[in-house]
Amino acid sequence: MDEFALIDRYFRRQTVTREDVALGIGDDAAIVVPRSGEQLVAAVDTLVAGRHFPDWFSAAEIGYRALAVNLSDLAAMGAEPRWALLALTLPEVAAAWLDDFSTGFLDLARKHRVALIGGDTTQGPLTISVTLLGVCERALTRAGAMVGDAIFVTGTLGDAALALALDADDDGESAGRLRAHFSRPEPRVAAGLALHDFAHAAIDVSDGLLGDLGHILRASKVGARIDGRCLPTSAAARALFTPERILTAAATGGDDYELLFTAPAQLEASIRDRLAGCDCPVTRIGTIVAGDAFELSGLDGVPMQPARTGFRHFAT
């Protein structure tokens, strides 16, 4: 089987049909038709085997994740995802693996009405690079945070990092929930779209809360005070780990794919209402302050200094 047959067989099974796709998989390039006046939003993320997912991930989980991390990027822009391109490098053509991988990818694509419009399949060490295109009316960037803004985060933090800290033979219900949070993160697409009307700045928490907050602070030229006692954590985490361990994971662990955003404090009730409408919990965790000050208070309310400030792919 050659690469063309491959693409046909597994990826043409998608059931998303969009009228704005003028030409999909199968020519030199794909053609889509944005509506007049729409801004186009584009993000690319690569997953490398052994680095961005553990060995125990199923092919379906890898496929899901490859799209989910990009959906999370577009969610953080307040954008509506529409079209994806998949660059898939595989060591070999394994039918069962491709079947599972494409199912994980296409199921998530269907849920968010994303059409797979093109791709490239090559032979080599397992690497998956997804480009996701979408549109937005007004983009949420990292640069708009204002002094006095409240800082919010969706969902819970630290679960993905704690899933990796579990014993391999821990098969209890709480362990299962942490692992599911890590392997099937829920990109906050609807929440990102809803935040248009409220947020001044936004980012997704992929590298860890403090590292990603740092991006907002630098881009917006402001500081922040975060109350460690307010960080939202899950019941599953609390059932298995100490409060100190959970705080560290929530502050510095990566891969949670929640949204971190700032907005005027007086909008808190409206934000909570609106996000409840898309089934998305939200927690206020701190305040934007002037200058470049940054303070995280610990479980005792006393300022602390975490050792790690976020995941780095090429840490020296």
Residues between 26 and 85 with contacts to its own copies, criterion CB under 8 A: 26-34, 36-52, 73-74, 76-77, 79, 83, 85
CA distance 164 to 185: 14
CA distance 11 to 98: 9
Taking the least distance from each CB to its own copies, the nearer of 190 and 304 is 190
Confirm or reject binding of residue 96 to its own copies (CB under 8 A).
no
Query: Tokens at residue 136, please?
Result: 């937005």
Segment 175 to 214, residues that bind its own copies, using CB under 8 A:
202-204
Q: Are strands 294-297 and 223-227 parallel, antiparallel or unpaired?
A: parallel
Q: Find out whether 310 and 203 touch, Cβ atoms under 8 Å.
A: no
Work out how close the CB of 46 gets to its own copies at its nearest, in angstroms, rounded to a whole number. 5
Spatial strand order in the sheet of 150-154: 201-205, 258-263, 150-154, 282-289, 223-227, 294-297, 303-304
Query: Tokens at residue 124, please?
Result: 């080599």
**Contact mark string toward its own copies, 231..270, x via CB under 8 A:** ----------------------------------------
Which helix (H) or strand (E) element contains residue 284?
strand 282-289
For residue 116, the number of C-alpha atoms closer than 13 Å in the C-beta half-sphere is 28
Work out how close the CB of 212 gets to its own copies at its nearest, in angstroms, rounded to a whole number. 10
Work out how close the CB of 308 gets to its own copies at its nearest, in angstroms, rounded to a whole number. 13
Work out how close the CB of 140 gets to its own copies at its nearest, in angstroms, rounded to a whole number. 9
Work out how close the CB of 258 gets to its own copies at its nearest, in angstroms, rounded to a whole number. 13
Confirm or reject binding of residue 146 to its own copies (CB under 8 A).
no
Confirm or reject binding of residue 16 to its own copies (CB under 8 A).
no
Work out how close the CB of 283 gets to its own copies at its nearest, in angstroms, rounded to a whole number. 21
Q: Using the rule CB under 8 A, give the single segment among 60-68, 95-103, 151-159, 307-315 that binds its own copies.
A: 307-315
Work out how close the CB of 4 gets to its own copies at its nearest, in angstroms, rounded to a whole number. 8
Task: For residue 117, give the 3-state DSSP assignment.
Answer: strand
* Backbone CA torsion sign across 19, 32, 130, 44: negative
Query: Tokens at residue 299, please?
Result: 């479980």
Confirm or reject binding of residue 14 to its own copies (CB under 8 A).
no
Q: Using the rule CB under 8 A, give the single segment among 86-94, 227-235, 273-281, 287-295 that binds its own copies.
A: 86-94
Confirm or reject binding of residue 307 to its own copies (CB under 8 A).
no
Q: Total number of residues binding its own copies (CB under 8 A)? A: 72
What lies within 8 Å, CB to CB, of 218 at 6+ separation is none
Segment 215 to 234, residues that bind its own copies, using CB under 8 A:
219
Given 168, 302, 307, 315, the residue binding its own copies (CB under 8 A): 315
Longest dimension (CA), the chain: 62
Question: What letter would DSSP give residue 148?
Answer: T
CA distance 11 to 19: 18
Confirm or reject binding of residue 279 to its own copies (CB under 8 A).
no
Given 117, 150, 263, 280, the residue binding its own copies (CB under 8 A): 117
Task: For residue 245, give the 3-state DSSP assignment.
Answer: helix
Given 61, 65, 68, 129, the residue binding its own copies (CB under 8 A): 129
